[in-house]
């Protein structure tokens, strides 16, 4: 059984030959570049500047030697692009580590020592303050006078950092030439990899509202101006549906999973009520997800952090096949509880290791214990792909990362 078959068998609620493993197939299963450089050193692998494909979260491309060392079964579609050194340029990480970033991203160091990324007219849209390890959003296009700007939504994408600062394959033109470029890269990756390929579409509607209005203001308009929210979401959906059709007609034959992203959870529960989810978001998710499955033979996965058990039945009803990162240390998301409640209904793509407490602060033995305990509950009957709960942060000791993957190898009978 190859990697792709292993992942898809588990997503069909059948026990694969061994647990499928993800490390870096999307922007919430990866590792920060600072931690990645230390991991390579710890493993005794050749030194090379990390390629930071997601500068906002400072995530590194995981090289083939590391993927092989940890028996990784999944890969992100973006790895089929930007293979030439000319696609990258030098930068430096907050700890002084030299790295490479995509050539189209242009952070500027200001007089305070902060890195700033700006929109087309010079408006700062993202900043990494001196001493910080992430970029933070600084511009919210609809935080003022949203009614006047709704019809200019596509133009406003350039002023929302999550839309404007893109990872490989880079800025795509949504036309024949752009789709041919996407299809060519996807086809080449499929030809050389038997890993399950994840295509990152995005399609954030709840989180998109937070990114455009600002989180607090989006909560307010959801409660006080539902007509404005529906108008915004209808405009956003019009853009997403057009792009989804182009995207999956181009790459659909070459990917296995299409990833959407919308953070609905907190540590203690969902950010919004079930009624609000059902009114504003569920019908629109259903529209996108069913359309995706009409366009290509793909599984639909969504990224949503936090405690989302109150929303999961409706997400499943809307057509969701898998969810990540499965934050099992949030309320009502304990592995035994969710496995019993949702067995054979949805694939848990995550929940493998606690990244808030155990992975950064535990001992290697404690990491091993956490992984084996989670595997014992989540693996039976398939419906599970291992990844740690979200990205590995900059301060995680490399010996703990190795302990995590060695524990999976032990479970899989490879050690």
- Whether the CB-CB separation of 277 and 264 falls below 8 Å is answered with yes
Confidence of residue 368 (pLDDT cuts 50, 70, 90): very high
- State the chain's mean pLDDT as an integer: 97
| Count of C-beta atoms within a 10 Å radius of residue 111 | 5
pLDDT at residue 186 greater than cutoff 90:
yes
Query: How many whole angstroms separate alpha carbon 369 and alpha carbon 354?
Result: 11
Confidence of residue 81 (pLDDT cuts 50, 70, 90): very high
For residues 356-376, give the mean pLDDT.
98
Question: Omega before 303 cis (within 30°)?
Answer: no
Query: How many whole angstroms separate alpha carbon 198 and alpha carbon 383?
Result: 17
pLDDT at residue 386 greater than cutoff 90:
yes
pLDDT for position 415? 73
Q: Is residue 37 domain-resident?
A: no
For residues 354-369, give the mean pLDDT.
98
What is the percent of the chain with per-residue pLDDT over 90, rounded to a whole number? 99
Write out pLDDT tens, residues 1-43.
Answer: 999 999 999 999 999 999 999 999 999 999 999 999 999 999 9
Q: Is residue 282 domain-resident?
A: yes
**398: CATH:** 3.20.20.210
Q: Is residue 128 domain-resident?
A: no
Query: How many whole angstroms separate alpha carbon 410 and alpha carbon 412?
Result: 5
pLDDT for position 231? 98
- Whether the CB-CB separation of 85 and 62 falls below 8 Å is answered with no
Confidence of residue 119 (pLDDT cuts 50, 70, 90): very high
Pick from 290, 305, 346: nearest CA to 322: 346
Q: Is residue 190 domain-resident?
A: yes
- Whether the CB-CB separation of 191 and 121 falls below 8 Å is answered with no
Q: Is residue 226 domain-resident?
A: yes
Pick from 350, 358, 349, 368: nearest CA to 393: 358
Q: Is residue 13 domain-resident?
A: yes
- The distance of Cα 70 from the centroid of its chain, to the nearest Å, equals 20
Q: Is residue 180 domain-resident?
A: yes
Confidence of residue 304 (pLDDT cuts 50, 70, 90): very high
Query: How many whole angstroms separate alpha carbon 199 and alpha carbon 195?
Result: 13
For residues 270-296, give the mean pLDDT.
98
Write out pLDDT tens, residues 158-169.
Answer: 999 999 999 999
pTM here is 0.97
pLDDT at residue 155 greater than cutoff 90:
yes
Q: What angle do CA 31, 48, 393 make, to 5 degrees?
A: 15
Q: Is residue 333 domain-resident?
A: yes
Strands (E), 248-383: 257-261, 299-303, 322-324, 347-349
- Whether the CB-CB separation of 383 and 347 falls below 8 Å is answered with yes
* Domain around 307: 3-31+71-78+141-411
Q: Name the domain count of the chain.
A: 1
């Amino acid at each position: 059984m190859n990697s792709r078959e292993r992942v898809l068998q588990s997503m069909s609620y059948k026990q694969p030959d061994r647990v499928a493993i993800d490390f870096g197939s999307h922007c919430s299963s990866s590792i920060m570049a600072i931690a990645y450089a230390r991991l390579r050193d710890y493993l005794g692998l050749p030194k090379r500047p990390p390629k930071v494909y997601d500068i906002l979260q400072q995530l590194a491309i995981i090289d083939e030697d590391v993927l092989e060392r940890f028996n990784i079964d999944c890969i992100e579609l973006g790895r089929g692009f930007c293979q030439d050194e000319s696609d990258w340029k030098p930068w430096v990480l907050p700890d002084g580590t030299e790295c490479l970033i995509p050539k189209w991203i242009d952070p500027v160091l200001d007089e305070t020592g902060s890195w700033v990324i700006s929109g087309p007219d010079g408006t700062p849209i993202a900043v990494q303050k001196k001493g910080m390890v992430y970029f933070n959003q600084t511009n919210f296009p609809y935080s003022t006078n949203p009614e006047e700007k709704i019809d200019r939504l596509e133009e406003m994408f350039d002023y929302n950092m999550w839309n404007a600062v893109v990872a490989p394959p880079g800025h795509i033109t949504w036309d024949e030439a752009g789709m041919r470029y996407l299809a060519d890269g996807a086809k080449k990756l499929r030809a050389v990899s038997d890993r399950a390929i994840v295509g990152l579409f995005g399609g954030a509607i709840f989180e998109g509202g937070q990114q455009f209005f600002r989180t607090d203001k989006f909560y307010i308009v959801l409660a006080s101006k539902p007509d404005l929210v529906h108008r915004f979401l209808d405009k956003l959906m019009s853009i997403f549906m057009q792009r989804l059709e182009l995207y999956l007609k181009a790459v659909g034959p070459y990917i296995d999973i299409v990833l959407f992203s919308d953070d609905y959870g907190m540590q203690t529960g969902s950010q919004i009520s079930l009624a609000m989810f059902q009114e504003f978001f569920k019908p629109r998710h259903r529209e996108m997800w069913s359309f995706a499955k009409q366009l290509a033979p793909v599984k639909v996965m969504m990224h949503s952090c936090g405690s989302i058990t109150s929303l999961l039945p409706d997400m499943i009803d809307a057509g969701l096949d898998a969810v990540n990162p499965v934050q099992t240390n949030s309320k009502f998301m304990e592995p035994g509880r969710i496995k019993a409640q949702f067995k054979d209904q949805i694939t848990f793509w995550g929940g493998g290791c606690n990244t808030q407490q155990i992975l950064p602060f535990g001992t290697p033995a404690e990491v091993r214990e956490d992984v084996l305990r989670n595997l014992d509950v989540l693996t039976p009957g398939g419906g599970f792909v291992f990844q740690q709960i979200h990205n590995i942060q900059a301060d995680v000791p490399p010996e703990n990362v190795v302990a995590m993957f060695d524990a999976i190898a032990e479970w899989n009978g490879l050690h």
